[in-house]
Amino acid sequence: MAAGQAPLGAWYVTVPALAGVIWLVGRADGAKAAAWLGLFAGAGHFGLALNWIIEPFLVDPEQYGWMAPFAVVLMAFGLGLFWAAAAALARAFAAGRAAALPLALTLTAVEGLRGVVLTGFPWALIGHIWIDTPLAQLAAYGGPNGLTLLTTLAAALPVALGFGGAAVSVALLAATFGLGQWRLSQPDPAPRGVTLRLVQPNAAQALKWEPGPARITFDRLLAYTAARPAVDLVIWPETSVPYLLHPGEGAALAIAAAAQGVPVAAGVQRVDGTRGYNTLAVIGPGGAVTAQYDKHHLVPFGEYIPYGDAMADWFGLRAFAAQEGNGYSAGPGAKLLDLGDKLGKALPLICYEAVFPQDLAAAEGRADWILQITNDAWFGTLTGPFQHLAQARLRAIEQGLPLVRVANTGVSAVIDAHGRTVAEISLGQAAFHDAALPGALPPTPYARWGEVPVWLLLAGLAAGLIGVRRRMVA
């Protein structure tokens, strides 16, 4: 099943593999046995799809490398618990072929829940297998959970109904493909008429904060920024400035001098009292900060320790407290950055905030475009950066907005409102690229209503299955 995730995108492997899991769960000897099957199927899927989780521990392997196997196993089986619950519920409801369609619904439900439970982690969703195909356009109507429901139904129907179900499954996928092709064939919105410069310094994570390499990286960023001709906005990646931000002096002044009047949106670290923030700052003439956004959806255990502040307040244990500068503090929440009449309003996302569709809907008002800065050097070079890029493309489809992502080591890209990559700087390349900002589409159904239609559809299908089962029992 994991072969369907980026970069392979082998959906034609995932669908029959998922059908096999559904068939096995239906044959399980009771709900408990089904739960064990779901647990190990989920652990296998997540262990392979999320293999990049070992990469952060290998940045400093002598100190943290021993943790990598435990991280993979704990992550895989922790997420596998969601699938275990789905399998147990479906098998408790019915057995054999009759359990197939209930499992399609419960799998969709738990995949949706893991995007929000315990701050959420909606990575490697079942529905992500379609991102490189026209079927991904369904996300404009049903989001990622709509894609997951499509996939689980396509796999369950042949198990539940045999050859007739297989025919219905093919017809369902074909109809969604046709919808996607139709949507992609519509005229593209007019470009906004501005040019952006994506700056990718390609800084190795293990050397990023060493004084010598940090200075080399900063000088490279300045040189790329100063290159002519001038553009309308220069964008640097997450935490690209290796020094603390002090408006009007130091690094901010150097950035403004290199930009020669052009605003620079840069990933910086800033300190306010004892708290530190992972920030996107727009730096204008004289090193002034004209707009800023503090990341609010932080990575648990990576950027902060959950309940660290509470442990300090209640027990005096300050080693994990963000309020003492031990980790980042969360910003106040999603917001739009007003960059002026020409550049419009941008919705800023920092790193893995782009994997949460609900974060994009949390800002007040509608953006003209989405701006993601990230440091994918943590994710290695095999799967993580490409899966992160794929999810950014899905956000563009869901909202009908162009998305610009600038990464430290790649992949930096300009993505149009249909989720197509129209400009790119490849992984592991130090370069800058000037690109036009694509236009925005009208708000999509998903942008208007979010997950509500999919959850209502799930509820309706579940009610229908319950009604059928009652009639059969009677």
Q: Is the separation of the CB atoms in 405 and 372 below 8 Å?
A: yes
Residue 5 CB neighbours (<10 A): 26
Structure confidence by residue, pLDDT tens digits, 410-444: 899 999 999 999 999 999 999 999 999 999 999 99
In the structure encoding, which two tokens stand for residue 387, read together? 């899966």
Active site residue 249: no
Q: Which of 238, 303, 398, 451 is catalytic?
A: 238
Q: Which of 111, 335, 351, 398 is catalytic?
A: 351
Q: Which of 295, 303, 335, 398 is catalytic?
A: 295
Taking the C-alpha atoms of residue 366 and residue 362, their distance in angstroms, rounded to an integer, is: 10
Q: Is the separation of the CB atoms in 88 and 31 below 8 Å?
A: yes
Q: Is the separation of the CB atoms in 139 and 399 below 8 Å?
A: no
pTM of the model as a whole: 0.95
Phi-psi region of 307 (alpha: psi -120 to 50; beta: other; left: phi over 0): left
Adjacent-strand bridge partners of 436: 195
Place of tokens 């150097």: 254
Taking the C-alpha atoms of residue 413 and residue 426, their distance in angstroms, rounded to an integer, is: 9
Active site residue 295: yes
In the structure encoding, which two tokens stand for residue 222, read together? 């300045």
Active site residue 324: no
Going residue by residue through the chain, which has 474 residues, state the pLDDT in tens, using 9 for 90 and above. 999 999 999 999 999 999 999 999 999 999 999 999 999 999 999 999 999 999 888 888 888 888 888 889 999 999 999 999 999 999 999 999 999 999 999 999 999 999 999 899 999 999 999 999 999 999 999 999 999 999 999 999 999 999 999 999 999 999 999 999 999 999 999 999 999 999 999 998 888 888 999 999 999 999 999 999 999 999 999 999 999 989 999 999 999 999 999 999 999 999 999 999 999 999 999 999 999 999 999 999 888 888 788 887 787 777 767 888 889 999 999 999 999 999 999 999 999 999 999 989 899 999 999 999 999 988 889 999 999 999 999 999 999 999 999 999 989 999 999 999 999 999 999 999 999 999 999 999 999 999 999 999 999 999 999 998 888 776
